[in-house]
Amino acid sequence: MAYENIQVSREGPIATLTVNRPKALNALNSATLRELLQAVREAAESSRALILTGAGDKAFVAGADISEMAPMTPWTAREFSELGHLLTAMLEDIPCATIAAVNGYALGGGLELAVACDMIYASENAKVGFPEVTLGITPGFGGTQRLVRLVGKLRAKEIIFTGVDGALPEGGGEDRHPRAARRRPREAPGGARLRHPAPGGEPPGGGDLRAALRHPGPRRGDARVPGKEARQVRGKVK
């Protein structure tokens, strides 16, 4: 299928989806969300890992396309938000590993896409935040719930209430995420579906967003298993 706003490439069992709207800092409009939904759906069953990134070095995804949102009615705004919810839920639930390769700005909906992935690798110039709150708009793709699970309630409140954006630490994102994608499939031989980590306990990074964004977050529907059993469950596959 031909796409106008994204690019799809494949290297063996690894699919890479690139949001390709660099002049708009890869902002998400309705057409882009629909194309991402279709591409993720197609890649889910035929890939062992999926990398999501943005074209250029300025932005991963700089949020929703304000030029499209400005004239929206309450009903069209709801439809737009539902598209984002469908996409982030799909990224969260598909059987293959999902990796966000964050280059530049990951703001608003861009940060929400990133935290829906299993892993995040960031470039030196990566910056994250929810600046839409300064416009009186709450994050609309489920990011408020996922961020709490990722960094803890107090740190998530600070980010959501203030819209603060910050630089992620140097991590060699461009070099590391392909290696991570290649490693992850070998952990589940024969196409087995991976179990996601059980929720609960101290969030990765102890509430530090920069540290936590480097760890897989808890997933919906996982049972909470304490102690040694939790470690055993995390290492198993379905």
Q: Mind telling me the catalytic residues?
A: 112, 132
Q: 10 Å Cβ neighbour count for 214?
A: 18
Q: 10 Å Cβ neighbour count for 204?
A: 20
> Is the Cβ–Cβ distance between 160 and 139 less than 8 Å?
yes
Compute the distance between CA of residue 90 and CA of residue 117 in angstroms, rounded to an integer: 10
- Name which of 51, 42, 77, 87 is nearest 173 in CA terms: 51
- Name which of 216, 219, 197, 212 is nearest 94 in CA terms: 219
- Name which of 64, 88, 87 is nearest 76 in CA terms: 64
Phi, psi values for residue 100, rounded to 5°: -95, 120
Amino acid at 190: G
Place of tokens 């991976």: 194
